[in-house]
Amino acid sequence: MGAQIIDGKAIAAGIRDTIQTAVTERRSNNQSIPGLAVVLVGDNSASAVYVRMKRRDCEQVGFAAQDHDLPTSTTQDELTALVDELNADPAIHGILVQLPLPDHIDAQAIIERIDPAKDVDGFHPQNVGRLVLRLPGLRSCTPHGVMTLLEHTDTDLVGAHAVVIGQSNIVGRPMALELLNARCTVTVCHSRTRDLQDQVAQADVLVAAVGRTAFIPGDWIKPGATVIDVGINRQEDGRLVGDVEADGAMQRAGWMTPVPGGVGPLTRATLLENTLEATRQLDG
Ligand SMILES: NC(=O)C1=CN([C@@H]2O[C@H](COP(=O)(O)OP(=O)(O)OC[C@H]3O[C@@H](n4cnc5c(N)ncnc54)[C@H](OP(=O)(O)O)[C@@H]3O)[C@@H](O)[C@H]2O)C=CC1
Ligand SMILES: Nc1nc(=O)c2c([nH]1)NC[C@@H]1CN(c3ccc(C(=O)N[C@@H](CCC(=O)O)C(=O)O)cc3)C=[N+]21
Ligand SMILES: [Mg+2]
């Protein structure tokens, strides 16, 4: 017995193919080409890697990527002015400001400055509020991507007990809402949760988004559970591992995402989906 692997890399490749076809069709119909502005401030090396991957994805599907690489010394006013310019640019349909931003920048103010119609990260309070209210809107890429991964399993979400570990604005909270909207019974755990093991043992669906290597021992997993490991932890030898102790969890889970090759590729593919959706909403 062993878990079936949820192949995020392959699922993401399929999504990119579908998007590429849609872009080709838009081109032949003389419709606008989706334009994504990718804004990177400073020299965080992990951010630089992610941004490079996002730009490569755009190129592959035929989107127009507009790169803005700004120095660490960029001021709040300068970044605000760039967001205003991108909001007003009809060739731009999506705006991604890579996080984290340098400490002297008020990131929340920047997020709130982005036109919600171009907020392909789904971080603007208007889009988060629409998710809360089950109204259509741009949905955060990582949790939305996890829902796509779950569709590629035989997990029955209705009435299932879903346990989310982590309550960040970009992963844990919107993840819990996505699962609630799919009619799971949802528990959210965080650093003050008592008896984490007892909560994990109840999970038909477990989503770990903590950011600590092998934080969840494999033998905590409920037999047959679907395990989604969002964590990305770089080891000293350069390898990436998740938040769940993979070898042990693979013995017990029914389905499981690998790290790398699980959630990460879906986050990027969902960014492309959101940008195409924003384009259709803005331009038809
Ligand atoms: N695959 C992908 O596409 C993405 C992966 N990531 C990865 O996911 C992970 C989480 O990211 P992010 O949400 O931004 O991280 P944050 O650091 O913002 O949030 C971590 C969460 O884990 C909780 N936590 C910390 N310690 C414990 C503990 N001992 N027990 C239970 N909960 C705990 C924190 O609780 P509290 O709130 O109480 O402090 C917090 O809610 C990281 O590894 C990140 O790299 C992130 C985004 C996308
Ligand atoms: N405005 C903003 N939006 C984000 O969506 C955002 C962000 N800021 N800041 C950082 C986090 C992190 N994140 C990831 C995206 C892809 C992978 C990914 O593709 N991972 C690959 C491998 C990565 C590698 O090889 O380094 C994988 O897991 O297989 C990981 C992490 C998006 N984030
Ligand atoms: Mg979808």
pLDDT tens-digit readout, 118-152: 999 999 999 999 999 999 999 999 999 999 999 99
The structure's pTM equals 0.98
Say if the ipTM goes beyond 0.95.
Answer: yes
The finding on whether 207 has its CB within 6 A of some atom of ligand 1 is no
Nearest 5°: phi and psi at 53? -65, -40
> Which runs of consecutive H residues, i.e. helices, occur in the chain?
8-28, 45-61, 76-88, 107-113, 125-132, 141-151, 172-181, 196-201, 246-252, 263-283
- At 102 the pLDDT is 98
What is the number of structural domains in the chain?
2
- At 271 the pLDDT is 98
111 with 151, same domain: the answer is: no
97 with 168, same domain: the answer is: no
> What does the alpha-carbon distance between residue 27 and residue 176 come to, in Å, rounded to a whole number?
37
Is beta strand 4-5 parallel, antiparallel or unpaired with respect to 35-41? Answer: unpaired
- At 155 the pLDDT is 98
- Residue 96's DSSP bridge partners are 38
- Under 8 Å between Cβ of 65 and 40: no
105 with 190, same domain: the answer is: no
Does residue 131 form part of some domain?
Answer: no
Residue with tokens 């350069």: 238
72 with 165, same domain: the answer is: no
Does residue 133 form part of some domain?
Answer: no
Averaged pLDDT of the chain? 98
Q: Whose CA is nearest to atom 24 of ligand 2?
A: 260
Ligand 2 site residues (CB inside 6 A) read 49-50, 53, 96-99, 121, 141, 232, 240, 259-261, 264-265, 267-268
- At 111 the pLDDT is 98
- At 166 the pLDDT is 99
Residue 251 known to be catalytic: no
> In terms of Cα–Cα distance, which of 41, 107, 49, 38 is closest to 275?
38
**Owning domain of residue 173:** 141-264
The finding on whether 166 has its CB within 6 A of some atom of ligand 1 is yes
* Residue 109 token pair: 């103010």
Q: Band the pLDDT of 109: cuts 50, 70, 90.
A: very high
Tell me, what CATH number does 82's domain have?
3.40.50.10860
- Ligand number nearest CA of 47 is 2
